[in-house]
Structures are given as structure tokens and as C-alpha cells.
């Protein structure tokens, strides 16, 4: 009977190292002096019942661990938390966006260049209409359309994979914690609002709105200063340098020699192109040229802050909030804010009537909504592409490649307006291509970033 007792004790302790209450009671009972009077069939049935209950609980619990997210907060003694990824992180597998960030950044530059080229023609010259909220209101159409397309695609993918278009437990704005109760081996899930992700989207929306206002102010005051807008936005080429410094300080992202040389070539491209345009500018504008220049430099700092903030948020969210959703939801919030401001202006401020010319758009007309709304689609697409390139790729080189917008605007002027480039512009065009080749043909770091 002693041998049989030891066998039963081994069965009790062979269930993964953690005993249930029933198996613990049986183990203590087998050690009692009365163990010779025990019916072995009853003991075996009790052991099997305890093991089955434990295995059922363990399988359910492990499944919940895989499907639920941990927010890293301190839990109660009965709460179960996923392993803290910040304590021991495996090398992250590079995503498709990370491998192709060069092409994403170039695509963003083409979108921005097209948007700026078209907007410079659509915006009324020498009129306050160009700095009126009503002029930019059709941009809301592009913002809402891009957000609608993203969430529709995500909902269809969720329905195909999970059988439902949306579920609170899978949302980026809710977090689920698993709680193991002491009674009957129960498991309960607690779902609450994820305030970090909510505030993250709202914060990025504010930064983007400030950038939008600064960019619009640069466009308006460039016209008031009688200086070409394409010349002023060449100052945006400072953004790659500011971004490279910020990402080195906050994320320890280093650049290799090819990155630095490529960025210098692109900066030289922008500077030489601006020299040719500078000779054609007159200095009899209504405002000083210092105003648009100062606004442009401030805008570059805001662009850098937006890129740094986006990378920080995505890293902190740990896969719960994607870069595309951050942009899409930010556009949705921005649309709501702009619509609210528009109705407040319409109801209480009574803005002055529009004074269009034959070459400009009448603010509030159907054609105005069609043109400005269509132009905004280029800007939204550019933001999606650049955001993916910065978050998953190299931030400084991505911003540098995005500056091909100046070269693209020059190409559009030649193709659409028939304006042949000067010698300086031709040299700048070549330097821009050389700089892009240096970045594209970089030697990959083997340590990652």
C-alpha cells in the first residue's frame, strides 16, 4: 500500500507544478495515518476530477492571456499580467514599412509638392480670404474621407478574422485586464477606457493643427511679402536636421555616413534652387520677408515635434495603436474641431464677404469645395506615407527625402506652366537626385535601430 500511495502522490504533483485545492487535500489525506483504509478508486476519481478542473482553468486562462493586452500598470494580487516587455525585449522584426521607408518618404514628398503647387494657384492673391477659416474648410472632406476609408478597411478585416466588425476588447481605446478569483477557479475580465491612447490622439491632433495653421500662414504672408511661396518652403529642408537631432537625443537613432552625405546634398539642392528664385523677387511687399521666414522656421520645429511625438506614442502603445490609426483618428478629431469653429464663426463672428477675381475661387462656392477638398487628399496621403516612414524607418533620412517636394514643384512648373529652369535650378535638381541616391543606396546597419 505504501508503493501505491507514492504513485498516487506523484500523480497529484505532475500537473505542471501548481496544485488545486482538491489535489492538495488529497495529498495531505494520503499522508495521514488512516491511509490504509482508503478506497483507491475514490482517490483516483478525486485526483482526476481535480486535474481536469485545473487543466480546464489553465487552458482558458492561457487563451485569455494571448487575446488580452496588458497596460503595464500595477495590479492587485489576484490579477494576472502579461510579462513586461520593457524589462526584456527581443529584437523587433522589421516591418514592411521599415524596409521600404525610402519609397514611402519619396511618395510623401511627391504628394506634398503636388498639394503646395495646386494650393498656390487656388489661394486668392492679396486677399484676406486666403487666411480665412472658410477657405480651408473643404480640407475637412479629405480628412474625413481618409479616416472613413481606413476604418472601413479595418472593420472588414476584423469581420473576416474575428467574425465581428468591432469589439470593445480589441479596440485601441479600451484595455482589458484578466482577474483570477479565488472562488471556483473563476476568471473575470475588466474592460475600461485607455486614457493614454485617447490623450495621445488628441495631443497629435493639436500638434498637427498648429502645423497646419503655420503652413497656411507661411503661404499667406509669402503672398503679402511678394515673395514666391516655393522659395520660403525651402526652409523646410531644416526639418531633417532637427529631426535627426531629436531622434538621436530621445531614441538613440544614429545615422551612418551615407545618410549624412545624402542629407547634405538635398540641403544643397534646396539652397541652390532658392538662389535662382531669390534674384527674381522684389522687395516691395506689404509686410517684411522676415515674417514668412520666421513662420517657416517655426513650422519646421513643429514638424519635428510631430514626428518625435508620433514615434514616442507608437513605442509606448506597444502594438495596440498603429501609426495609420493614429493619423486617421487624428484627422477625425481635427475635422470635428474645424467644423465646430466654422459654425461658431458663421453664427457669431459674421466674416466679411468673399471678393474673388477671375483667376481665384469664390470662397464657399461648389467649385471651391471641389478644388480645395481634392487638394487636401494629396496632403492626407502624404501624411500617412511620411508617418509610416518616420515611425518604422529612419526619421532624419525620411524627412530629407520628403524634401523632394521642392524638386517636384519645379518639375510641375516646367511641365504645366512651361517655365524652363535656370542654371541654378538645374544644378539643384541634379544635387537632389544625387542626395536621394546616397540615402537609397545606404549600407544597412546590422544592429538595427
Which residues have CB under 8 Å from 117's CB, separation 6+? 408, 409, 412, 413, 416
Question: For residue range 400-425, what is the model confidence (pLDDT) as tens digits?
Answer: 788 788 778 878 877 887 767 677 76
Split at pLDDT 50, 70, 90, the class of 356 is low
For residue 144, pLDDT beyond 70: yes
Mean pLDDT, residues 9-22:
44
Supply the pLDDT for residue 201. 93
Q: CA–CA separation, 11 vs 14, rounded Å?
A: 5
Mean pLDDT, residues 190-209:
89
Supply the pLDDT for residue 39. 52
Q: How far is CA 422 from CA 165, 193, 257, 274, in A?
A: 55, 58, 31, 11
Supply the pLDDT for residue 284. 55
**How many contiguous H segments (helices) and E segments (strands) does the chain have?**
17, 3
Question: For residue range 101-116, what is the model confidence (pLDDT) as tens digits?
Answer: 888 888 998 998 888 8
Question: For residue range 205-220, what is the model confidence (pLDDT) as tens digits?
Answer: 999 899 988 888 887 8
* 405 and 268 Cβ atoms separated by less than 8 Å: no
Percent of the chain with pLDDT over 70: 61
Supply the pLDDT for residue 376. 85
Q: CA–CA separation, 356 vs 363, rounded Å?
A: 8
- DSSP annotation of 348 reads I
Supply the pLDDT for residue 260. 76
Supply the pLDDT for residue 377. 87
For residue 73, pLDDT beyond 60: no
pTM of the model: 0.65
Question: For residue range 225-243, what is the model confidence (pLDDT) as tens digits?
Answer: 777 676 677 778 778 778 8
- DSSP annotation of 75 reads -
The enclosing H or E element of 193 equals: strand 187-193
CA quadruple 309, 313, 314, 315: dihedral, nearest 10: 100
Mean pLDDT, residues 9-19:
43
Q: CA–CA separation, 367 vs 115, rounded Å?
A: 17
CA quadruple 383, 389, 392, 397: dihedral, nearest 10: -130
Q: How far is CA 9 from CA 3, 41, 51, 56, in A?
A: 10, 14, 13, 21
Supply the pLDDT for residue 119. 78
For residue 92, pLDDT beyond 90: no
In this predicted model, which residue has the larger pLDDT, 360 or 445? Answer: 360
Which residues have CB under 8 Å from 301's CB, separation 6+? 242
Q: CA–CA separation, 344 vs 3, rounded Å?
A: 87
Rg (CA), the chain: 31
* 405 and 112 Cβ atoms separated by less than 8 Å: yes
Beta bridge partners of 338: none
Split at pLDDT 50, 70, 90, the class of 138 is confident
Supply the pLDDT for residue 12. 42
Mean pLDDT score of the chain, rounded to an integer? Answer: 71
Supply the pLDDT for residue 292. 83
Q: How many CB atoms lie within 10 A of CB 280?
A: 10
Supply the pLDDT for residue 187. 62
Split at pLDDT 50, 70, 90, the class of 202 is very high
> Position of cell 514599412?
97
Please report how many Cα atoms fall inside a 13 Å half-sphere around the Cα of residue 431, on the Cβ side. 21
In this predicted model, which residue has the larger pLDDT, 7 or 369? Answer: 369
Beta bridge partners of 179: 79, 188
Amino acid at each position: 500500500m505504501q508503493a501505491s500511495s507514492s504513485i498516487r502522490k506523484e500523480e497529484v504533483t505532475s500537473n505542471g507544478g501548481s496544485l488545486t485545492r482538491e489535489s492538495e487535500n488529497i495529498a495531505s489525506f494520503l499522508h495521514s495515518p488512516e491511509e490504509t483504509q482508503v478506497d483507491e478508486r475514490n482517490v483516483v476519481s478525486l485526483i482526476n476530477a481535480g486535474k481536469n478542473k485545473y487543466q480546464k482553468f489553465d487552458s482558458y486562462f492561457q487563451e485569455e492571456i494571448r487575446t488580452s493586452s496588458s497596460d503595464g500598470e500595477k495590479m492587485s494580487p489576484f490579477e494576472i499580467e502579461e510579462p513586461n516587455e520593457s524589462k526584456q525585449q527581443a529584437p523587433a522584426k522589421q516591418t514592411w514599412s521599415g524596409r521600404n521607408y525610402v519609397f514611402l518618404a519619396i511618395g510623401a514628398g511627391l504628394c506634398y509638392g503636388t498639394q503646395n503647387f495646386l494650393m498656390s494657384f487656388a489661394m486668392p492673391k492679396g486677399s484676406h480670404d486666403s487666411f480665412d477659416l472658410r477657405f480651408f474648410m473643404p480640407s475637412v472632406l479629405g480628412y474625413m474621407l481618409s479616416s472613413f476609408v481606413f476604418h472601413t478597411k479595418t472593420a472588414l478585416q476584423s469581420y473576416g478574422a474575428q467574425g465581428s466588425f468591432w469589439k470593445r476588447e480589441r479596440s485601441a481605446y479600451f484595455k482589458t485586464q484578466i482577474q483570477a478569483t479565488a472562488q471556483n477557479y473563476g476568471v473575470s475580465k475588466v474592460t475600461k477606457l485607455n486614457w493614454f491612447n485617447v490623450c495621445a490622439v488628441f495631443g497629435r491632433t493639436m500638434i498637427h493643427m498648429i502645423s497646419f495653421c503655420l503652413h497656411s500662414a507661411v503661404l499667406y504672408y509669402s503672398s503679402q511679402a511678394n515673395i514666391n511661396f516655393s522659395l520660403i518652403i525651402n526652409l523646410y529642408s531644416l526639418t531633417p536636421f532637427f529631426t535627426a537631432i531629436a531622434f538621436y537625443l530621445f531614441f538613440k537613432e544614429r545615422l551612418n555616413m551615407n545618410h549624412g552625405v545624402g542629407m547634405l546634398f538635398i540641403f544643397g539642392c534646396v539652397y541652390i534652387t532658392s538662389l535662382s528664385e531669390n534674384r527674381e523677387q522684389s522687395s516691395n511687399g506689404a509686410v517684411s520677408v522676415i515674417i514668412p521666414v520666421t513662420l517657416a522656421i517655426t513650422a519646421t520645429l513643429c514638424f519635428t515635434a510631430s514626428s518625435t511625438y508620433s514615434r514616442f506614442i507608437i513605442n509606448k502603445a506597444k502594438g495596440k495603436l498603429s501609426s495609420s490609426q493614429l493619423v486617421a483618428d487624428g484627422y477625425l478629431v481635427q475635422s470635428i474641431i474645424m467644423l465646430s469653429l466654422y459654425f461658431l464663426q458663421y453664427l457669431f463672428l459674421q466674416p466679411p464677404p468673399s471678393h474673388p477675381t477671375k483667376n481665384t475661387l469664390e470662397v464657399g462656392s461648389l467649385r471651391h469645395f471641389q478644388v480645395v477638398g481634392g487638394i487636401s487628399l494629396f496632403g492626407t496621403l502624404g501624411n500617412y506615407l511620411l508617418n509610416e516612414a518616420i515611425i518604422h524607418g529612419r526619421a532624419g533620412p525620411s524627412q530629407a527625402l520628403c524634401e523632394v517636394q521642392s524638386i517636384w514643384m519645379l518639375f510641375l512648373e516646367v511641365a504645366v506652366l512651361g517655365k524652363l529652369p535656370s542654371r541654378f535650378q538645374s544644378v539643384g535638381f541634379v544635387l537632389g537626385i544625387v542626395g536621394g541616391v546616397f540615402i537609397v543606396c545606404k549600407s544597412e546597419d546590422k544592429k538595427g535601430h
